[in-house]
Structure 1
Amino acid sequence: MNKRVAGVVSLVVTTILWGSSFSFIKLSVTDVSPLTYSSLRSFIAVILLTPIILLRMYRGVLSINSLYKGFIVGITYFLGLFLQAAGTVYTTPSLSAFITGLNSVHVHLYIALVERNYGLIDGIALLLALSGLYVLTSPSGGLTIGVLLILMGSIAWAAQIILVSRYGSSSIIEILYGMFLPGALTYPFALILGGAVGIEALIYITYLAVACSVLATFFQVWGQRYVSPLTAALIFLLEPVFALLFSLAMGLEGIEPYKVIGGGLIVIATYLSSMAELSSNRSK
């Protein structure tokens, strides 16, 4: 399989896993504080990866430089997790999904203004995706503290996407471990401030750590080695589409025309951007 095709597929898998996270995040932050949720999720991820890191250290192949790069990415990752969770407490899931999706705009603006590597298809795909995201999520409500927190979180997510592309050639395991370290290091403070975590919340957060942190981020880092941040940002807008599909499969929502239209626009936008990616030589 062509590496760019494999990269696109890998990022779609990432987005499917992220799409499964919405309901678990909402359930988690109703029982624990946003700080406890985000730090415990990272702490569990670090525990899972520690045996591999120790083995690499024993074999003398551990890359300290990659760990450092991962830690830098991890600061943006933890900020994104925390700000999104904190904002979700004060707003609706649909509005949260829409504002989080604006990270795609931030990435496109960065590429256009800073790297000056932007095409017409990129702009068209972005407009289609944002239109679909708006129709799909039907956001409502004014400017609140929740909106501001999630907006800041979307900027953090955009920075994470850009940094993953920049450091993607580094050792993946070390990048992942370093990425989860900032959040894990805050867990003792979260315990002091947030109290104990119940069994039900622990189950939800463990799933999020395994599937949506370790596995999803592995596929993200690997996929972004072969896919530009422009296309990656648009592929990640499929997250609310997959969230809707999971919700439909679980009988939590019904099929409505606006959901089909919104999801369809995002799929078309992703297709356009992916085809442009596969037929171009733009930098990763």
Structure 2
Amino acid sequence: MEASRKRQVKADLALLFVAFFWGITFVVVQDALADITPYYFLALRFLMAVMFLAAIYRGNLSRINLSALRSGIFIGLFLFGGYAFQTVGLKYTGPATAGFITGLAVVMVPLFSALLYRHMPRPFVIAGVTCATLGLGLLTLQGGTLNLGPGDLLILCCAICFGLHIIMVGRYAGQHDPVLLAIVQIATVSAISFVFALALEHVPTQITTRLWIAFLITAIPATALAFLIQNTVQRYTSATHTAIIFTMEPVFSAITAHLLGREILTTVQVAGCLFILAGMLVAELKGE
């Protein structure tokens, strides 16, 4: 039992590292979208990520089978849905509201898990989820109200997709080579993004230096390595733990924006960060 607990703690720390990279790249992505349309950015970002993994782990590619291919594509559909709904939804709603609704995936994961696996989370996990959700509200809904419009509903679909992605990774991660599972997922997102980009957007005429930097930062640590880590370690922790840990993404994003002078954190926002951290710690120390 002690060895299992140590593996879970290491897994949770690795997932926290993933949330850290996703959080600090928010400003980078925001700047990059001034030079390129959203679907082309996603398509090229995920293409670079899959090329990086394929080059490093080319020996693993010979072991791919139909089962791993099906599972990776299936999980990749939810991953694409999360990014696509979020990207389109941000055209019609504010980033604060979008951040809060996206973060509601932390609530959806234990609910979906309970429905799919008929397994209710423990009280401390429920407390951690509640605390993290309250923190998300304090962090992201500054000075506004949550009035659901078309864009907000799209972001809600994004949260559902991200929640289901976490659950499906937990379901299939132990059945396949994590490298192959990550490569197929990432390739799926890139392929579908290219289809939408060709249908809806103009081909970018140039790749600026700022855009190259954004691709390098987001494609390798924030995509290739992040999803490789998630597919490798999530078998050692629960989907609910993963969702709670990922609520640290907007915390790292807010801190990064503050340090770069893009945004000044208010007292209430700092309190929101502390609530999220408290929710994560409650679930980690007393939860599943």
TM over 0.5: yes
Q: CA contact under 8 A between 1:25 and 1:85: conserved in structure 2?
A: no
Aligned residue for 2:53?
49
TM score, norm. by length of structure 1: 0.89
Greater shift, 104-113 or 129-138, is seen at 104-113
Decide which of 224, 232, 252 is 1:214's aligned counterpart. Answer: 224
Aligned residue for 2:166?
161
Q: Deviations over 1:231-283 (max 9, x none)?
A: 11111111111111212222222342112211111101000111134xx5xxx
Aligned residue for 1:138?
141
Q: Deviations over 1:59-79 (max 9, x none)?
A: x53444323311211111111
Aligned residue for 1:23?
27
Identity %: 27
Q: Secondary structure at the match of 1:254?
A: coil
TM score, norm. by length of structure 2: 0.88
Aligned residue for 1:267?
277
Which amino acid counterpart does residue 229 of structure 1 have in structure 2?
A
Q: Deviations over 1:51-94 (max 9, x none)?
A: 2453334xx53444323311211111111111111212322222
Q: CA contact under 8 A between 1:53 and 1:62: conserved in structure 2?
A: no
How many residue pairs are counted as aligned between the two chains?
Answer: 276
Q: Secondary structure at the match of 2:55?
A: helix
Runs of 4+ in 1 over 6 A off after TM superposition: none
Matching of residue 195 in structure 1 with residue 197 in structure 2 = no
CA separation of 1:162 and 1:188: change in aligned 2, threshold 3 A: closer
Aligned residue for 1:175?
181
Which amino acid counterpart does residue 37 of structure 1 have in structure 2?
F
Q: Deviations over 1:13-36 (max 9, x none)?
A: 011011112222322333332221
**RMSD value over aligned CA atoms?**
2.0
Query: Which consecutive residues of structure 2, in runs of 5 or more, have no partner in the other structure?
Result: none
Q: CA contact under 8 A between 1:29 and 1:85: conserved in structure 2?
A: no
Q: CA contact under 8 A between 1:125 and 1:273: conserved in structure 2?
A: yes
**Cα distance in 2, alignment partners of residues 183 and 74 from structure 1:** 6
**Cα distance in 2, alignment partners of residues 216 and 223 from structure 1:** 11
Q: Secondary structure at the match of 1:185?
A: helix
